[in-house]
Structure 1
C-alpha cells in the first residue's frame, strides 16, 4: 500500500490526472463534466471547506466494522477547490447547513403575534394604566322611563374609563373604574349619571399569608315608577353605594382560610315632584357591616371549592322610615361554591346559599331568601368569548308591609371578532324583583348589540342598539325604551 502511494506520487502531473480519471468512475456524477478535482488551489478562486467524499460509500460497508479507511481523494495537506460551480454550491450547502437539533435541546418558543390594534396603555413604575374616553350621540325613545306620556329625545353620552394592572414580583394591584353621564337636550330633569368600579390590592406578607383589600362603588338612578318612590316623581333620583373590604388569608398547604370585614354605605338623592317641591329620601340611607369566614381547598390547579359563612347588620341613619317602620336588621348567611381557573378556557367563580334576616320592627316578618353570585368567562375559540353573570341578594325597601325584596339578576354576553379590528357583541340580561309579604313583582329584560371598529390603537368607532323593558304588577310602572348610539372612543 505504501509502495503504491509512492509510485502514484512520483508520476508527472498529467499522468497523475489521467490515472485519477481512469479509476474514479464512481465519482463522475459528483464532479459532472468539469473533470477531476484539482488539488492545487488558485489564488483567484474561493477556497472551499475540506471535503471527503468517502462517506458517500457508507451504504455499501459494514458500519459495525470500525471507522472507514481514508479515501484516495482525501487531501490532508491542502484545501480543495471545486471547479464545477453546480457541484461546489451543492457541497457548500451540505457543509454549511446547521447540524440537526437534538431531541434533548429545548424547543424555542414561537414569538407571540402582535395585535396592531391592542391598547398600549401608560406605564407608571410597575403599574400599567389603560385610560379611555368616549363620546356618543343618539336617540332615546323613552328617557323618562314612564308608561304614559312617552316622549323621545336626542341623547348625548360622555364616558371615561380607567383600568390598571400591576407588574410586581410581589403583591398585586388591579382595578377597573368607569363613569358616564347621559344628557338630554330640552329635558334636563332626566339627565343621569352612572358608574361602577372596583380596585383590589393584595399584599404578600409571609409565605402563604396575604392581606386582601377592595374598594368599590356603584352609581345609578331610580326610574319614576319605582315602588319605593312617592307618586308624582318627575326626576330620576341618584342612588350611590360605596364600600370596602379588608381580609387576612393564610394557606395551609392546599387548605386556605380567610377572614374578611366589609363596610358598605348606600345613599339616596331627593325626589322632585311635578309641583316643583322635593321629597327627602334620607330615611333610606343606611350602612351595612359584615364579617365573613371563608375556607377553600385546592383540589387541583384548576378547581378550588369553598364554603363561606357571614354575619351582618344594617343600620339606618334614621331609626324610623317615612312610614314609621324601624328597618334596622341583622342577618346570617352561608353559601358554597367553587372557583375555576382553566387558563385560556374557563375562569371565574360560582356560589349559592341562603340568608336569614331579622328586623327590629315586630311588624316586619323575618325574611329568608337565596343568595349567590356567578361570574364566568369562557373562551370558546380564539375569536369568540362568552361572559356569564348572575346574582341573588336581599335588598331593602320602603314599601309598606314588606320586609325586603329578593333581587335576582342574570346575563350573558357573547363577543366575536369578525376581523382583527372588527368585533360584534351581543348581550341579554334578565332581572326579577320580588317584594316579600306584598303582591309586588317586577320583571325586566335588556338586550343589546354593539359593533366596535378599531381604526388605530388609539381611535375606535362604536355603534350600539339597546332595548329595555320592564313589566310590573304596580300600576303605571311598566315601560319600554329603545336607545341608538354612535360615537368615537379615544384610548391610550
Structure 2
C-alpha cells in the first residue's frame, strides 16, 4: 500500500497494486509539467531574507517541453539572462570580505599607515578623483569575444616579450602608503664628509697665491708675492649619549722673497722673512651623567705670531718668533628646570720662541712666558624657548716665568670680567648671543696702572632672505705687551659680514672689520680698518675656486707707525 507522500507519492510494488501505481505516477508527472517558477523563488537569501537588488541565481534544469506558451517564454528569458550575466563576469576576480582598514575613523591614520584627513598636494600635483558615489555612472564592462572572454586592449605584438613592472615600483599596490619626498639639501655644494666608526669627519685644504703690497705693514710699503696653505679638519661624534667634537684649522703664509734688513740706513722694524704660521684647534667633550647633569671639558691649542706692525715686534729680526698657547677647561653643567648653572676651571700656558736677529745673535723671550689659572661661572634662565638671559663672571691670575721683564717691570697680574647678556632666536631669522660688561686687571708692579675698559661680545646671524645672510661679531681681550711703562693692550674688534648667493654655485662675501688697540699707560691708540670681498665659484661639492681682494689700513697716533696694504689672491678649495 502507498506510504506518506513526500514530493512524489511512494508505492509498494505488488501484484495487486501495480496498475494503481502506474496511474498515480502518470497523474503526478502531468501536474509537475504544468508548474511555473515565480521571479523571487530562486534569489539568494541572506539570513533568510531576500534582497530585491541581488541578481537571480541561474535557473536549474527545467523541462522546457511544455505546451504552456507562458512557461516557454519565461524559460527563454532566464536562459538569455544567465548567458549575459556569465559573459559580463568573464575575466573578473571575485572579491570576498571587507577591504583593509574599512572601519577606520575619518581622521588620523589607519592600519595601512595612510592618513585619513585631506591630503596636502605639492605644487603641480593633480587632485585625486573622488570615488564613485550613489547615482554616478559605472563604466561599462569590457568587450568580449565570441567565446565570452574579454578582448585585449592592445595588440599582442605591443605587449609580448616585455617583463612586467613590479607593483611596488609602479606604485599600484593596494593599501601602499605614498612615498615621502626627500628633504631639500640646504647646501647642495657643501662638504658631505665620511663616517669613521661613529664619527662624521669632514676635511678640506685651501691652496692659493697672490700679491701683497705691504706684507710687513711698513710706513714705506714694499710688496711681495706669497702663497698660502690652509688645512681644516672636523670630527663630530654621532652618539646617543655624550659628545666629542674636534675642530682643527691652520694656515701658513709663505713669501718667495725677503724684505731688506734696513730702510734708509735704519734697521727695519719688520723681519726680512715675513712668513707666518697660524693654527687654532680645540677638542670639546661632554659626559652626560644624568639628563640634567653634564661634565664638560675642552683642550685647546693656539700657534701664532705677533701681528705685523705691532710695537711688540723687535727691530732687526730674521723672522717672527712663534708663540704657543696650550690650555684646557674642566667644568660641570647643571639644569634646575629652566635655571642653568655652569662652572669650570681654566689653565693655560704661553711660551715664546727665542728671536733670531739679522746679525746672527739671538734674543731670549722667557720674560714673555706665563701661566694663567682661573675660573668662570655662568648662570642663565630660560624665559622662553627663544630667549635665555645670562650672567657670566670670570677671574684669573697670570704668573710669568721671570719676575721682571727686559725693561725691569714685574708683569704678574690678576683680573677678570663680568658681563650680562642673552641668547635668542626670533623666528629662526635672527639668532645669536649679545652681552656687555666690564673688564679690569691689577698688576704687581705699582708703576703699571690698572687696566680697565668696557667689554662687548656678540655673535649674531640675520637671515635677511633665503639668498642673503648678514653676520655681526664683536670680541674684547686684554693682551700682554713688552712696551716699558705700558700695562697691557685692551683690544676691541667689530666685524660685519654679508653673504649673498647669486646662484647656488656662485657666492659673494663682503666683510668689514673695525678694531681699536688701546695701549694703556703709553697713550698709544691704534685703529685698524679692513675691507674684504670674496667671490666663490663652487664647481662641485669637492672643488671650489675662490678669489679675494682685501684692503687693510693701520692708523696710529704715533708718528711713522701707520701703514696700508692691498692683497689680491686666487685659490682653490678641495674638501670632502
Question: Does TM, scored on the shorter chain, surpass 0.5?
Answer: yes
In structure 2, relative to structure 1, the CA distance for the partners of 1:38 and 1:386 (3 Å cut) is farther
Matched with 1:151 is 222
Per the TM alignment, residue 383 of structure 1 is displaced from its structure 2 partner at its CA by: 2.5
Instruction: With a CA cutoff of 8 Å and minimum separation of 6, indicate the structure with the bigger relative contact order.
Output: 1
Select the residue among 185, 192, 197 that pairs with 1:120. 192
User: 1:423-449: CA deviations, max 9, x gaps?
Assistant: 222211111001113220110111211
| In the alignment, structure 1 residue 314 sits paired with structure 2 residue 398 | yes
Q: Contact between 2:324 and 2:351, CA under 8 Å: does it hold in 1?
A: yes
> Which residues in structure 2 correspond to 1:240-319 (within 5 Å)?
240-319=324-403
**Alignment-derived partner of residue 257 in structure 2:** 186
- Please name the residue that 2:102 is paired with: none
* Partner Cα separation in structure 1 for residue 388 and residue 487 of structure 2: 36
Task: Identify the residue that residue 162 of structure 1 maps to in structure 2.
Answer: 233
Residue 83 of structure 1, aligned match among 135, 140, 143? 143
Which of 300, 305, 308 aligns to 1:221? It is 305
Greater strand proportion: 1
Match of 1:12 among 72, 76, 84: 76
Q: For 1:140 and 1:433, how far apart are their aligned partners in 2?
A: 23
Which of 270-279 and 117-126 deviates more?
270-279
- Offset at residue 216 of structure 1 (A): 2.2
Q: Please say which of residues 355-364 and 371-380 is displaced more in the overlay.
A: 371-380
Count of aligned pairs = 440
Deviations 1:396-438 (A, max 9, x none): 2222222222100111222222222222222111110011132
> Which structure has the larger Rg?
2
TM-superposed CA distance for 1:10, in Å, is 3.3
Unaligned runs of 5+ in 1: 18-36, 59-72, 89-95
Say whether residues 1:197 and 2:197 are aligned partners: no
Superposed, 1:82-481 pairs within 5 Å as: 82-83=142-143, 110-114=181-185, 116-148=188-220, 150-187=221-258, 189-223=273-307, 225-233=309-317, 235-341=319-425, 344-481=428-565
Alignment match, 2:106: none
Partner of 1:69: none
| Corresponding position: 1:41 with 2:125 | no
Q: Structure 1 residues 276 and 471, CA, compared in 2 at 3 Å: closer, same or farther? A: farther
Counterpart Cα distance in 1 of 2:525 and 2:180: 57
Report if aligned partners of 1:227, 1:474 keep a CA contact under 8 Å in 2.
Answer: no
Tell me if the contact between 1:295 and 1:308 (Cα under 8 Å) persists in the aligned partners: yes
* SS of equivalent residue, structure 1 residue 248: strand
Pairwise CA distance, 1:109: 5.6
**Structure 2: distance between partners of 1:453 and 1:197:** 27
CA RMSD of aligned residues (A): 3.6
Could you tell me the TM-score, scaled by structure 1's length? 0.79
Q: Alpha-carbon deviation of 1:38?
A: 5.0
CA distance in 1 between partners of 2:317 and 2:39 (Å): 119
Q: CA deviation at 1:391?
A: 0.9
Give unpaired runs (5+ residues) of structure 2: 1-37, 42-51, 57-69, 96-130, 145-149, 154-170, 259-271
TM-score relative to the length of structure 2? 0.68
Return closer, same or farther for 1:373/1:241 CA change in 2, 3 Å cut-off: farther
Distance 1:48 1:414, change over 3 A: farther
Q: 1:382 to 1:168 in 2, by over 3 A?
A: farther
The alpha-carbon distance between structure 1 residues 194 and 414, as it changes in their structure 2 partners (threshold 3 A), is same
Deviation at 1:233, TM superposition (A): 4.3
Partner Cα distance (2:552, 2:303) in 1: 19
Q: What do the CA deviations read for 1:42-91 (whole angstroms, capped 9, x no partner)?
A: 79x753888xx994438xxxxxxxxxxxxxx99xxxx9833399xx9xxx
Distance 1:170 1:3, change over 3 A: closer
- More moved, 368-377 vs 290-299: 368-377
Shift of the alpha carbon at 1:333?
2.4
C-alpha change, 1:121 and 1:364, in structure 2 (3 Å) is: same
CA contact (8 A) 2:216 2:309 kept: no
1:100 and 1:340, CA in 2 relative to 1: closer, same or farther beyond 3 A?
farther
Q: CA deviation at 1:249?
A: 1.1
